[in-house]
Amino acid sequence: NAGVTQTPKFQVLKTGQSMTLQCAQDMNHNSMYWYRQDPGMGLRLIYYSASEGTTDKGEVPNGYNVSRLNKREFSLRLESAAPSQTSVYFCATGTARYDNQPQHFGDGTRLSIL
């Protein structure tokens, strides 16, 4: 049981390049999330998807786009990478609202923009 799988684990990009971070889950969870983690700032929500076919902006959505391809997959795209987007990106999943259950996280993607 893989849980939440993120690819790639590491990536180095040049400013202006584009890339897509992939997230797949086998937990049958409805909700999926993308966070970024920067030193001293905890996890900040970029986008989330409450269910297949819906996406919503989080706290720091600028410079990112997302696609909820199906129930299992939620991708995050950087169209034109900037050094400020150097961060560790985590994908997470959750069941439903008001159910007292924690979120489940992938191992993260460490992204450096030069």
Write out the binding residues for another protein, residues 11-30 only, by CB under 8 A: none
Q: Is 39 exposed, middle or buried (0-12, 13-18, 19+ CB in 10 A)?
A: exposed
Q: Could you tell me how many residues of this chain bind another protein (CB under 8 A)?
A: 29
Name the residue nearer to another protein (CB basis): 14 or 97: 97
Peptide bond into 83 cis (omega under 30): no
Question: How far, in Å, CA of 18 to CA of 70, rounded?
Answer: 22
Position 90 contacts another protein (CB under 8 A): yes
Q: According to the binding rule CB under 8 A, does residue 42 interact with another protein?
A: yes
Residues forming contacts to another protein in the complex (CB under 8 A) are 4, 31, 33, 35, 40-45, 48, 50, 56, 58-59, 90, 94, 96-98, 100-108
